[in-house]
Amino acid sequence: MPRRRVARIAALHAPSAGRAAAVVVALAALCGALAGCGNTYRPVVAAINPVGPAGQPQKYAVAISSPSATANGLVTLVDFSGDTVLVTATLGVNPYYFILNSSGTTGYTLNSDKTVNSFDVSTSLITSQVLETTLLPGANPVSVFPSTSTTYIPDPGLGQIDQLTGTPPALKQELPVAANPVYVVGVSGAPRVYAISQGTGSGAGQVAAIETGGNTISTTLPVGRGPGYGIMTGSAQRAFILNQTDGTVTVINAVSNALDTPVTTIPVGVQPVWADFAPTRNELVVANQGTGTSTGSVSIVSIPLCSATALPANPLCDAANPVDATGFGTVLATVPVGVNPIMVSVLSDGTRAYVANAGVAGLPCSPTGLPQTGYTTCTVSVVNLTSNTVTATIPIAGHPAYIATSNSTPTGKVYVVCKDSQAMTVIETDTDSLDTTIPLQGYGVSVRMTQP
């Protein structure tokens, strides 16, 4: 019999004490192979966190309100995620215009006491940190445009564009333009911006091109009658000027610094007063005020430019200065909305536009949002930009003065302030219904979002 087999049989028939010794030897060998075998084994439990919706981004609604024509105004910072008031600070007397810089970090207001306030958008903001600039005697500013390093203020009282620099903004120079300048059109970092002047009488207006590098006026261009507002594409390649009297939009090629060709003028609705872009759709959405006492509308305009992908087929399509693509300037739809629309704000994903309908001035708002004798309808119209139809009409408890939107996941929000209400209305975009109201301690002037 082989020796190994004899040894195994002997082990199997050995006394129990011997078998125990053999087991101890085997365990010792196993412990040598496993580090830490001499310690007591304790199971480790690893927690698996539940998977839920992504956290909301940190962003804020910044609202401006005014208790009365003689009282100091207020800036209110509201948390996007929780609809809670984080900060309230005091501004100059009765602010009437408000804007944020492109990064949403600094706010500017024009006040009735002929001052300009500037402040950091911060959850630690206090009144003493709100900076103030006093304007020149005779100044009557109507809007503010903060560029990268310069703040421009159109001043029809002095017939000029005030250029301010520094912190707080201080007057650096006065740029002479045509009579009644009202607005500066541009985007931060653009090589030039355009100052809109309405002119005098019933004649045509014009725009002055301000070169932002040297702050000089390089040219002036004619536009339509009664220009009051404008908007520039994020690429700084086209500017659109809304001519209220003519019911048209003038298109400027901001690269060549000339009126656009072949589409120079786009007919829209009666009294166009505001516009916003749906960049994912290459569309311009224009709010047409109408008569102010009847139903207004929004015009949805196609504005595609010749893209870089078209270069092989179209040698005229310069990527740096693209020509208008086929269909540029075509009005895709005119959508009836509420009475006296004053503003439109488009969600950044391009799905919907929200139109603030201020109703007839001097009449109280209908509590139901439906027409009633002695009342006017004050509402927000929701326009689906795929079907170009109104999909919801939301009643507002006041005459809207300003509207701002912001996308997010799982829901975005729409903020509305009213000139006769001391509460800001919040609408959820997943249901297009009222979410809550937020007290402002003053009547609504404006609201803007730090992020889209």
Spell out the long-range contacts of 364-371 with Cβ–Cβ below 8 A and sequence spacing 24 or more.
365/395, 365/396, 365/397, 365/398, 365/399, 366/395, 367/395, 367/397, 368/395, 369/393, 369/394, 369/395, 369/396, 370/395
When comparing pLDDT for 53 and 220, which is higher? 220
Q: What percent of the chain has pLDDT over 90?
A: 77
Token pair belonging to 81? 């995620």
Give me the mean pLDDT over the 64-89 stretch: 96
Per the listing, tokens 């620099």 go with 165
When comparing pLDDT for 408 and 98, which is higher? 98
When comparing pLDDT for 432 and 6, which is higher? 432
Q: What percent of the chain has pLDDT over 70?
A: 87
pTM, two decimals, is 0.86
Q: Is the pLDDT of residue 342 over 90?
A: yes
Q: Is the pLDDT of residue 36 over 50?
A: no
Q: Kind of pairing, strands 227-232 and 352-357?
A: unpaired
Token pair belonging to 362? 């001097």
Give me the mean pLDDT over the 375-397 stretch: 97
Q: Are 120 and 62 in contact (CB under 8 A)?
A: no
Q: Is the pLDDT of residue 341 over 90?
A: yes
Distance separating alpha carbons of residues 192 and 176, to the nearest angstrom? 16
* Alpha-carbon distance values, 353 to 262, 328, 350 (Å): 28, 20, 8
Q: Is the pLDDT of residue 337 over 60?
A: yes
Q: Is the pLDDT of residue 320 over 90?
A: no
pLDDT at 55: 53
Distance separating alpha carbons of residues 444 and 282, to the nearest angstrom? 32
Distance separating alpha carbons of residues 198 and 250, to the nearest angstrom? 14
Q: Is the pLDDT of residue 197 over 60?
A: yes
Q: Is the pLDDT of residue 332 over 70?
A: yes
* Alpha-carbon distance values, 416 to 233, 278, 285, 311 (Å): 24, 20, 19, 44
Lowest mean pLDDT among 20-29, 43-52, 204-213: 20-29
pLDDT at 25: 44
Tens of pLDDT, residues 199-210? 988 899 999 999
pLDDT at 406: 95
* Alpha-carbon distance values, 448 to 7, 184, 216, 343, 417 (Å): 90, 18, 30, 13, 10
Q: Are 351 and 428 in contact (CB under 8 A)?
A: no
Q: Say how far residue 331 (Cα) sits from the centre of its chain.
A: 24
Tens of pLDDT, residues 242-269? 999 999 999 999 999 999 999 999 999 9
Mapping DSSP onto H, E and C, the string for 5-31 reads HHHHHHHHCCCHHHHHHHHHHHHHHHH
pLDDT at 383: 98
Q: What is the DSSP string of 321-376?
A: SPPBPTTTT-EEEEEEEEESEEEEEE-TTSSEEEEEE--STTSPBPTTSS--TT-B
Quote the DSSP letter at residue 51.
Answer: P
pLDDT at 5: 43
3-state secondary structure of 287: strand
pLDDT at 57: 53
Lowest mean pLDDT among 3-12, 33-42, 143-152, 370-379: 3-12
When comparing pLDDT for 58 and 182, which is higher? 182
When comparing pLDDT for 27 and 371, which is higher? 371
| Side-chain-facing half-sphere of 419: CA atoms under 13 Å | 18
Q: Is the pLDDT of residue 302 over 80?
A: yes
Token pair belonging to 45? 């439990």
Per the listing, tokens 């003065």 go with 401
Distance separating alpha carbons of residues 98 and 116, to the nearest angstrom? 10
Q: Is the pLDDT of residue 183 over 90?
A: yes
Cis peptide before 262 (omega within 30 of 0): yes
Q: Is the pLDDT of residue 318 over 60?
A: yes
Could you tell me which residues are beta bridge partners of residue 146? 151
Q: Is the pLDDT of residue 19 over 90?
A: no
pLDDT at 8: 41
Q: Is the pLDDT of residue 16 over 60?
A: no
Distance separating alpha carbons of residues 116 and 148, to the nearest angstrom? 18
pLDDT at 319: 81
Distance separating alpha carbons of residues 305 and 324, to the nearest angstrom? 5
pLDDT at 129: 97
Token pair belonging to 261? 């060709």
Tens of pLDDT, residues 216-232? 999 999 999 999 999 99
Tell me the pLDDT of the chain averaged across its residues: 89
Residues near 113 by beta carbon (within 8 Å), at least 6 away in sequence = 92, 93, 94
Per the document, the length of the chain is 452
The one-letter amino acid at 266: I
